[in-house]
Amino acid sequence: MKSFFAALGIGLLATAALAGGDTPANPDARVYFANLADGDTVASPVTVIFGLSGMGVAPAGTEAENTGHHHLLVDRPPMGQGEDGAEELTYALPADDNHRHFGKGQTEVTLDLAPGKHTLQLVMGDYTHVPHSTPIVSEVITIEVK
């Protein structure tokens, strides 16, 4: 349990260092994986359930205070890092196999993932798919698909 809180603290510090778009978010908001943990071994298809506290979920295009919708980053560097890291913090997230959008307000997905290790990270986006002014991101977890 001690390592969980240490990891949570590291994740919060990393989140605080990021700068996002113009839409404010509740500073106490947190997004997390409700049914998966770092190091889990699973079978495909993999159901991923998104957890959120301190904010509400609203479909893309809905401009409402302290709301957003989920994005799932798959097999790519953590939010804000990598080749397009700086751009993705201030512009709408792309929609591709590595950036899954849930603009209808979905809170879970079932993915067909190939056997092997995969990284996952959740990111909240505002009504235009841009991360909030303080991005709400989960820790990056690695799962193994058997």
Nearest to 138 by CA among 118, 127, 124: 124
- DSSP letter assigned to residue 78: P
Q: What is the mean pLDDT of the chain?
A: 87
pTM: 0.84
pLDDT (0 to 100) of residue 92: 87
Cα 93 to Cα 3, 17, 32, 59, 108: the distances in Å are: 31, 19, 19, 15, 19
Q: Report the distance separating Cα 108 and Cα 134, nearest Å.
A: 23
Helix residue spans in 44-84 (DSSP H): none
Largest CA distance in the chain: 41
pLDDT (0 to 100) of residue 17: 46
Share of the chain above pLDDT 70, in %: 86
pLDDT (0 to 100) of residue 5: 39
Contact at 8 Å (CB) between 33 and 57?
no
